[in-house]
Amino acid sequence: IRYLGVDLPEGASINEETGLFTWTPNPRQVGDFTFRVIASDQLGAASSQDITLTVLDISRGDGN
């Protein structure tokens, strides 16, 4: 199985072999981020999933 990320947020990545998603949003990346992950096999079969992550602005919180 191979994994591909489509329209990933800036700075995000997906490991092609494991599907591990990694991302540390920067302070300006607040809000909803939607992207697609596609998994495909060597025979050409594929499946995709849209994912939405919400990043909160923790600098506006009370520090707890």
The answer to whether residue 63 sits within a structural domain is no
Comparing CA positions, the residue from 27, 35, 45, 28 lying closest to residue 5 is: 35
The answer to whether residue 8 sits within a structural domain is yes
pLDDT in tens, 3-51: 999 999 999 999 999 999 999 999 999 999 999 999 999 999 999 999 9
Would you say residue 59 has pLDDT above 80?
no
The answer to whether residue 24 sits within a structural domain is yes
* Structural domains in the chain (count): 1
The answer to whether residue 62 sits within a structural domain is no
pTM for the whole structure: 0.83
The answer to whether residue 41 sits within a structural domain is yes
61 burial type by CB count under 10 A (0-12 exposed, 13-18 middle, 19+ buried): exposed
Count the Cβ atoms, other than its own, within 10 Å of residue 59. 8
> What is the span of the domain harbouring residue 40?
2-56
The answer to whether residue 61 sits within a structural domain is no
The answer to whether residue 21 sits within a structural domain is yes
The answer to whether residue 31 sits within a structural domain is yes
